[in-house]
């Protein structure tokens, strides 16, 4: 009988450290707002440390996963299933958001006159939104140079370069094997660096949360509490009911899965960015038994194409602004809004605030809702961003496991056994 490892003290568990840091940050931001604002560099520094590792980790994971796959037809099959899954679930998220906001009507009775709002607040977001057209987005996937993708950090650009390099190595045959081994060793190095960086996650979460509360204050929530509550409840129900049913159909429990990725959830809660959890999600999905090629394709692609939380937010926020400004939106207008949001949402990523920019892009394309009304949401967007990022993260994780199960990469029994043994990021090797 194997001896069990000694139980780690609670105060050394990473997700507990991050959770404590989040609450301390809320306290500092609430009672000492000026001090809270000054702590912004702590959160920014941690996010930059994580982003520094995302491009090389994605590159190594995708290249090794694809180049080591002997059956390239399987790659096309996985890609097709991934896009199909993303489109179905993302559209469902948009529909649920539209239904809920029409039932709850959180904006009814606000009677806001857009003329009274400061246009300067929304101008910056509207300016960025013009660059998010479908054609611009498609062209932006192609980097200016081979190395520009790593400089900009655009996940889809990195993914494109990685896929091309992977195919090139595959076509080299035996001559490409040394390159493949080198990339595998490089991947181990970058994951090793990530395990060092993640130890300072509590400091980053503390700084980010103290700045958020110190800058916007809990008072920013009062006026728009109905929209926030509706969004949080809708996102929660989407995770438990919709993603829960998908998980059950695939043979695992959504609650056990959430426990498996609790460290990543705490990171996202503290930083409001799902990108901070990307390296850890890759490790966690591989630990569950998903193949490296599937994880390497689904996770990074999902960060631009499977944004369930952002889709729910965009549908609810756009209709909320129409309700608040007494702008009539009939069924045809809302269907147009749905179709436009399906395109503009693909421009969002895990970066904090990207969902707000894509909302601006949607309003620009639906001129019946005044773009000036965006000013109503600026004060609470940071608080909404956390829920968006959490829902996006969970949705991408579930998608990875589901597609892996479709490909029979992991059995139901193995998956559930692995879910019982959550991987600790700070100790994984």
Q: Provide the pLDDT for residue 355.
A: 63
Q: Is the pLDDT of residue 80 over 70?
A: yes
Q: Is the pLDDT of residue 196 over 90?
A: no
Percent of the chain at pLDDT above 90? Answer: 11
Rank 210-224, 227-241, 378-392 by mean pLDDT and report only the highest.
Answer: 227-241
In a domain, 3, yes or no: no
Mean pLDDT check: name the lowest of 96-110, 135-149, 173-187.
135-149
Mean pLDDT check: name the lowest of 189-198, 268-277, 303-312, 371-380.
371-380
Mean pLDDT check: name the lowest of 5-9, 104-108, 114-118, 132-136.
132-136
In a domain, 359, yes or no: yes
Selection from 393, 415, 300 nearest residue 63 by Cα: 300
Q: Provide the pLDDT for residue 2.
A: 41
Q: Look at the block and give the residue holding tokens 């949401």.
A: 377
Q: Place 395 in a pLDDT band, splitting at 50, 70 and 90.
A: very high
Q: Place 273 in a pLDDT band, splitting at 50, 70 and 90.
A: confident
Selection from 306, 341, 358 nearest residue 128 by Cα: 358
Q: Is the pLDDT of residue 42 over 70?
A: yes
Number of residues in the chain: 429
In CATH, what number is assigned to the domain containing residue 198? Answer: 1.10.3860.10
For residues 278-282, average pLDDT: 85
In a domain, 6, yes or no: no
Q: Provide the pLDDT for residue 1.
A: 38
In a domain, 5, yes or no: no
In a domain, 364, yes or no: yes
Q: Place 79 in a pLDDT band, splitting at 50, 70 and 90.
A: confident
In a domain, 206, yes or no: yes
For residues 356-370, average pLDDT: 71
In a domain, 377, yes or no: yes
Q: Provide the pLDDT for residue 310.
A: 85
Q: Provide the pLDDT for residue 429.
A: 45
The mean pLDDT of the chain is: 79
Domain hosting residue 385, numbered range: 12-419
Measured between alpha carbons, how far is residue 341 from residues 35, 52, 94, 375, 385 in Å?
39, 30, 8, 20, 17
Q: Provide the pLDDT for residue 131.
A: 45
Give the span between the Cα atoms of 168 and 184, in whole angstroms.
Answer: 16
CB 264 within 8 A of CB 280: yes
Give the span between the Cα atoms of 323 and 55, in whole angstroms.
Answer: 41
**Is the model more confident about 400 or about 228?**
400
344-348 own/partner pairs: CB under 8 Å, 24+ apart: 344/129, 344/132, 344/314, 345/90, 345/94, 345/307, 345/310, 345/311, 345/314, 346/137, 346/304, 346/305, 347/132, 347/137, 347/304, 348/304, 348/307, 348/310
Q: Is the pLDDT of residue 77 over 60?
A: yes
Q: Provide the pLDDT for residue 234.
A: 92
For residues 309-316, average pLDDT: 87
Selection from 135, 218, 165 nearest residue 55 by Cα: 165
Q: Provide the pLDDT for residue 350.
A: 44
Q: Place 425 in a pLDDT band, splitting at 50, 70 and 90.
A: low
Q: Provide the pLDDT for residue 424.
A: 60
Selection from 243, 253, 289, 249 nearest residue 392 by Cα: 243
CB 227 within 8 A of CB 90: no
Q: Place 220 in a pLDDT band, splitting at 50, 70 and 90.
A: low
181-188 own/partner pairs: CB under 8 Å, 24+ apart: 183/60, 183/63, 183/64, 183/67, 184/60, 184/64, 186/56, 186/60, 187/57, 187/60, 187/61, 187/64
**Is the model more confident about 174 or about 242?**
242
Q: Provide the pLDDT for residue 258.
A: 93
User: Does the global pTM surpass 0.85?
Assistant: no
Domain count along the chain: 1
In a domain, 397, yes or no: yes
Q: Place 137 in a pLDDT band, splitting at 50, 70 and 90.
A: low
């Amino acid at each position: 009988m194997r001896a069990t490892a000694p139980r780690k003290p609670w105060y050394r568990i990473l997700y507990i450290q991050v959770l404590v840091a989040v609450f301390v940050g809320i306290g500092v931001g609430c009672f000492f707002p000026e001090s809270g604002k000054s702590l912004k560099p702590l959160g920014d520094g941690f996010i930059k440390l994580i982003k520094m590792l995302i491009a090389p980790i994605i590159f190594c994971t995708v290249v090794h996963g694809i180049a080591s796959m002997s059956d390239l037809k399987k790659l096309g099959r996985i890609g097709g299933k991934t896009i199909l899954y993303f489109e179905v679930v993302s559209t469902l998220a948009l529909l649920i958001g539209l239904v809920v906001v029409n039932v709850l009507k959180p904006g009814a009775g606000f009677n806001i006159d857009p003329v009274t709002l400061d246009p300067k607040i929304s101008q910056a977001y509207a300016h960025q939104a013009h660059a998010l057209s479908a054609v611009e987005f498609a062209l932006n996937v192609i980097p200016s140079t081979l190395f520009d993708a790593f400089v900009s950090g655009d996940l889809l650009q990195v993914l494109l370069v990685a896929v091309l390099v992977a195919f090139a190595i595959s076509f080299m045959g035996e001559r490409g094997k040394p390159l493949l081994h080198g990339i595998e060793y490089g991947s181990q190095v970058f994951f090793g660096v990530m395990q060092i960086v993640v130890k300072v996650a509590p400091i980053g979460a503390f700084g980010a949360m103290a700045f958020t509360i110190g800058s916007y204050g809990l008072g920013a929530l009062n006026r728009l509490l109905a929209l926030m509550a509706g969004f949080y409840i809708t996102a929660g129900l989407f995770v438990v009911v919709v993603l829960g049913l998908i998980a059950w159909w695939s043979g695992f429990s959504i609650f056990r899965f959430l426990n498996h990725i609790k460290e990543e959830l705490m990171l996202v809660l503290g930083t409001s960015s799902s990108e901070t959890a990307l390296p850890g999600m890759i490790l966690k999905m591989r630990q569950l038994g998903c193949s490296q090629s599937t994880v390497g394709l689904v996770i990074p692609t999902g960060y631009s194409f499977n944004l369930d939380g952002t889709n729910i937010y965009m549908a609810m926020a756009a209709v909320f602004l129409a309700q608040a400004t007494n702008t009539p939106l009939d069924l045809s207008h809302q269907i147009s809004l749905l179709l436009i949001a399906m395109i503009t949402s693909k421009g969002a990523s895990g970066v904090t605030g990207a969902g707000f920019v894509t909302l601006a892009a949607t309003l620009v394309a639906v001129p019946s809702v005044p773009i000036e009304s965006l000013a109503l949401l600026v004060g609470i967007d940071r608080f909404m961003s956390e829920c968006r990022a959490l829902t996006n993260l969970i949705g991408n994780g579930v998608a990875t496991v589901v597609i892996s199960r479709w490909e029979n990469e992991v059995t139901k029994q193995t998956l559930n056994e692995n879910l019982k043994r959550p991987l600790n990021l700070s100790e994984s090797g």
